[in-house]
Amino acid sequence: MTSLASQFSCHDDYDPNALAVDLGRQLILDTLTPITGIEHIPLRDALGRILAEPVISPIDVPAHDNSAMDGYGLRGDDLAADGETRLSVIGSAFAGHPFDGPVGPGQAVRIMTGAKLPPGVDTVVMQEVVRATDEQVTVPAGQRKGQNVRRAGEDLRAGVAALAAGRLIRPAELGLIASLGIGEVGVRRRLRVAIFSTGDEVISIGTPAREGQIYDSNRYTLFGMLTRLGFDVIDIGVVRDDPASLETTFREAASIADAVITSGGVSVGEADFTRAMMGKLGEVLFWKIAMKPGRPMAFGRIGKDDNGAWLFGLPGNPVAVMVTFYQFARPALLRLAGIDPLPEQPLLQAACVTPIRKAPGRTEFLRGVLFVEDGEWKVRLTGAQGSGILSSMTDANCFIVLGPAQGSVAAGDPVAVQILDGIV
């Protein structure tokens, strides 16, 4: 394998000391290939998992022509060119209880939504527009042959891939697979991600905090973000800023996980000793990203072959951890996990009601609240935006993304917004 450093330096814009967000994300993505390993599991268990093989439809869906309405089934050729059509009603077709026998010229059946069309019937007239007795139905003018009918195979044809490999299984996919009568699917095994925090000042909850110590929040936000993505999280705890313990922990983490995410220890003052130690374990690049928050970040590969893992060394500040996770680690881990294509992260435009001071040159991810006022999308800042102020994230429903070219924002200016919540 060529070294990451030489691979990345082919890009003209590659500057590890001022790396653009988009380029950094792309370089990471280009480096990663999905894990292998398939599990065959019952359909319900597959929610949130990623298809490892396509789902091939064994049947036409729907399996037969059926009615899209409650009404009367008839032969389209019987409809009068203009004026009413009178037909005799010879029976009923219900969903699950078909009318057996053909429907001849001049005849109709009462038919319910989902009922199979009897032989001869190709058209359904909705019940609200007819006049009917038990024996006869009068259909008004203006009906079209073939209307209100769902054709066999119009949703899916037998033998074709209903869902491609790489698809994330959401509620709609569960339903679609079930509609094919398939009760078991082949999914990628879950991605295993090990996490740990670094820092002599960081302690875990359950330990009383002494002067100068802080509770570890990063392992909790990371646990939450990773669990939401459906990954297995291996929590290794807090590791002291000591090269020997860090080295042992990195080796152990790399041998049990596909990816390792750490927080802290990559800032300028601390990077030197982690850098020296990591040189022994594999190849890790220390980047300064042209972004705020989250300037320092490490990316690379530690450990060997099957005992190796991808490393994301995120900064220590709690908001920087979340921002760098969403912008770099999330797409990378989704690719590793086998999602294909990667889901788009749409940017919306909203009028920013809070003025923001900014110098061009870097990307800023501010925490905002998106709302509607007078029928228009607007966004405001959540308040203080320090990279350690986690309440700026708890109060937010979006990131305001100010790109490298953008300068200060005046109240009312349009800005790009990335929404944090989705409905599925």
Residues that bind ligand AMP (CB under 6 A): 197, 199, 201-202, 214, 216-218, 263-265, 267, 270, 315-318, 388
Question: 352 with 388: CB under 8 angstroms?
Answer: no
Least Å distance, CB 211 to Mg ion, is 17
Residue given tokens 């929590």 in the structure block: 235
369 is written with which tokens?
A: 């609240």
Indicate which of ligand AMP, Mg ion, none lies near residue 5 (CB less than 5 to 8 Å, by partner kind): none
Decide: 104 and 153 in contact? Cβ < 8 Å.
Answer: no
Q: How far apart are CA 311 and CA 285, in angstroms?
A: 10
Q: How far is the CB of 328 from Mg ion (least distance, A)?
A: 19
| Residue 106 CB partners (closer than 8 Å, separation 6+) | 78, 87, 88
Q: Which is nearer to ligand AMP, 200 or 413 (CB)?
A: 200
- Residues β-bridged to residue 193: 233, 259
Decide if 308 contacts 301 (C-beta within 8 A): yes
Nearer to ligand AMP, 214 or 384 (CB): 214
Quick check: 199 binds Mg ion (CB under 5 A)?
yes
Please choose which of ligand AMP, Mg ion, none residue 218 contacts, taking the beta carbon within 5 to 8 angstroms, the exact cut-off set by kind.
Answer: ligand AMP
Tokens of 209: 């905090």
211: Cβ contacts below 8 Å, ≥ 6 apart: none
Amino acid symbol at 371: F
Q: Which does 216 bind (CB under 5 to 8 A by kind): ligand AMP, Mg ion, none?
A: ligand AMP
Q: Shortest gap between Cβ of 300 and Mg ion (angstroms)?
A: 19
Residue 217 interface partner, choices ligand AMP, Mg ion, none, CB cut-off 5-8 Å depending on type: ligand AMP
Measured CA to CA, the distance from residue 79 to residue 157 in angstroms comes to 31
Closest approach, Cβ 271 to Mg ion, in A, equals 10
Work out how close the CB of 269 gets to Mg ion at its nearest, in angstroms, rounded to a whole number: 8
- Pick the stretch among 39-47, 128-136, 199-207, 254-262 that binds Mg ion (CB under 5 A): 199-207
Q: What is the DSSP letter of 269?
A: H
- Residue 201 or 247 having the CB closest to ligand AMP: 201
Q: Residue 264 interacts with Mg ion (CB under 5 A)?
A: yes
Which span (67-75, 197-205, 247-255, 276-284) binds Mg ion, by CB under 5 A? 197-205
Tell me how far, at minimum, the Cβ of 28 lies from ligand AMP, in Å.
20
* Sites for Mg ion among residues 307-346 (CB under 5 A): 316
**Residue 359: partners with Cβ closer than 8 Å, 6 or more residues away:** 407
CB of 316 to Mg ion, least distance (A): 5
Cα distance between residue 382 and residue 392, in whole Å: 6
CA 180 distance to own-chain centroid: 24
Q: Which residues bind Mg ion (CB under 5 A)?
A: 199, 264, 316
